Chain A
Amino acid sequence: MTGTAKRLGDRLLGGAMIAMLGLVLAFLVTPLLVTCLLAFDARSFLGPLPPPALSMRWFEKLVSLDYVTTGLATSLKIAVLTTSVDVFIGTAAAVALDRSNFPGRSLVMAVFLSPLIVPAVVIGFALLLFLSRIGIVDGFTRLLCGHIVITLPYVVRTVLASLSGRDRRLTEAALVLGATEHQAFWNITLPLIRSGMVTGAVFAFAVSLDDVAVSMFLTDPSTYTLPVALVSNMRASFDLTIAAAAVLLMAVSAVLIIVLERFVGFDRLLGQGLFRS
């Protein structure tokens, strides 16, 4: 193989790589940009881009819809409650799993992470059957149960990762310096795993706020989450109110990202076991 042929191959690979990158990024971002643009479209039908005039009409319509406001309120309540329960229970479990080596520890850990393995639809259906059988018919309780199950593993996982990533000698140093185990935990360990707790909480919140697969089974006629309401209406009619809702939800994602970047930082985020191969 001659030098020029090798060079040509390199050029081709380099070019293909750049083209691929452009294509991938365009595929990932364009639909979101289109949605943002159309949410401000003043037309009453889905026309070609760009919109001739911009307006807030879809947002105005959005906030005037009962199912949106009710759904959003329920969603936020559920997400906040779920996240709080997760952070307490999940952190406690992770701390226990990290510091003792009792028999069956890996089994218990597997139990805590197992809801990630079971498809959400299966969890939703199973919970529906079970809760009906034991007579819990209240939508809010049902939704709360479902959301806690599917989000708890995120907190356990991220807190465990930050616990195992910390320098244990710091705790030992505190003990040598005269702190009790409790003091060492509150003064040393807890601040060190705070980033794991924040990451877990953010993911739990995002998953809860976004869930459809589990919630579809657990709603009752007066208690439903925003995504469930939106999905039902997306199938019924196709108007740009949902684009406005999508923009709102993107804004929520953006806020969550800012929280992550502020309190955790993206570099550390990658070390927290959420994206491990």
Chain B
Amino acid sequence: MTAIPVQPPPIAIPAPPRTTLFLLAPGLLLLFAIFALPLFGLVLESLKQYVPGRVGSAVDAPLTLENYRELATPSFAGVLYETFKLSAAASLAGLLAAFPLAYCIVRRFSPRQRAVCIGLLVMLVLLSMLVRTYALELAFGSVGVARPLFLALGISPTSRWYTETLVAAGLLHAVVPMCTLTLLGTIQNIDPRFCDAAQSLGAPAWKAHLGITVPLALPGLVSAFLIAMTFSISAFVIPMVLGKGRVLFLSNTIYTRFSDVANYPSGAAVSIVMLVISLLVLSLVSLVQRRRGSRS
């Protein structure tokens, strides 16, 4: 009997390169035309000299770093600081709220409760930002229904501190469902017997969670935090509506330079700064993910 050569089963069906190209071409062309080229144009614009009174720069305007140098002012630093401070606060608070919620959904709730909760969270993710901010404004805003409550507590709903908190609350409202859904998988992957083991070894439940569950969930927590951060620092509607012009985020600065002063080159420079910051935060995300990938 002759031996039949055994071929390893194909892992993927190889497609002719031409088909692949044909399938990719529309998307790539589209993204090149209305995404890559505009971003490139944005970089160029940020290097053009700004002529006051002129909408947009001239095609042959001289190249300069002036637009970036101009950003090194206390007021722009203030915007940066405000963006980061409120984003970090909302992301941290979001994590604190999301972790117990995700834990209960995975480990404590009945399948029915779990389905209802996940449905609610997905709805909150899909919920319009506009509806979210408006609802928060109606409930907790300076003229909202909770106004008498705040006045009774001695909190002035018109103070700057209050406005900042309201913007952070807006971010929090968006971040909590996001973080919770992200953490569901993390918690699902932690063997509940680790906690049982800790308790059978004499640790009370709270110490078991602190010493076992939280450290094991740490990479997931860090990812969720950074995802919340990227969302928050590029938020636009939330600071615009809830901040009422008193709390400005980077994104709002860009819009102001476009609509109010028509300084396009400066707006472009702010955009590039914002883009770089987003990329930095996101590379942290992938760093965390890669470290986790190499450990497991």
Instruction: Decide yes or no whether A27 CB sits under 8 A from chain B.
Output: yes
Closest to B233 in A: A119
Instruction: Decide yes or no whether A54 CB sits under 8 A from chain B.
Output: no
Could you tell me if B254 and A125 are in contact, using CB atoms closer than 8 angstroms?
Answer: yes
Instruction: Decide yes or no whether B5 CB sits under 8 A from chain A.
Output: no
Could you tell me if B126 and A203 are in contact, using CB atoms closer than 8 angstroms?
Answer: yes
Could you tell me if B41 and A121 are in contact, using CB atoms closer than 8 angstroms?
Answer: no
Could you tell me if A32 and B185 are in contact, using CB atoms closer than 8 angstroms?
Answer: no
Could you tell me if A100 and B128 are in contact, using CB atoms closer than 8 angstroms?
Answer: no
Q: A243-276 vs B: 1/0 string, CB under 8 Å?
A: 1001001101110110011000010011000111
Contacts of B20 in A (CB 8 A): 96, 99-100, 102
Could you tell me if B38 and A10 are in contact, using CB atoms closer than 8 angstroms?
Answer: no
Given known contacts A181-B13, A277-B220, is B101 in contact with A119 (CB within 8 Å)? no
Instruction: Decide yes or no whether B77 CB sits under 8 A from chain A.
Output: no
* Contact among A24, A88, A246 for B97, CB-based, below 8 A: A24
- Size category of the B interface is 35 or more
Instruction: Decide yes or no whether B63 CB sits under 8 A from chain A.
Output: no
Could you tell me if A126 and B130 are in contact, using CB atoms closer than 8 angstroms?
Answer: no
Contacts of B268 in A (CB 8 A): 125-126, 129
Given known contacts A12-B206, A49-B145, A100-B20, is B31 in contact with A212 (CB within 8 Å)? no
Interface majority SS on B: helix, strand, loop or mixed? helix
A88 to chain B, nearest CB (A): 8
Contacts of B100 in A (CB 8 A): 17, 20-21, 24
Contacts of B205 in A (CB 8 A): 9-10, 13-14
Instruction: Decide yes or no whether B71 CB sits under 8 A from chain A.
Output: no
26 A-B residue pairs with Cβ-Cβ distance under 8 Å, sorted by A, are A9-B206, A10-B205, A13-B205, A14-B205, A28-B124, A28-B173, A31-B173, A34-B138, A35-B134, A49-B145, A89-B27, A92-B24, A96-B20, A97-B24, A100-B15, A121-B251, A121-B271, A122-B39, A129-B42, A145-B34, A206-B126, A217-B258, A246-B130, A249-B131, A253-B126, A257-B122
Interface residues of chain B, those whose CB is within 8 Å of chain A, are 9-15, 17, 19-21, 23-24, 26-28, 30-31, 34-35, 37-39, 41-42, 45, 56, 96-97, 100-101, 103-104, 115, 118-120, 122-124, 126-132, 134-136, 138-140, 143-145, 148, 169, 172-173, 176-178, 181-186, 204-207, 209, 219-220, 223-224, 227, 230, 233-234, 236-237, 240-241, 250-251, 254-255, 258-259, 264, 267-268, 271, 274-275, 278-279, 282, 289
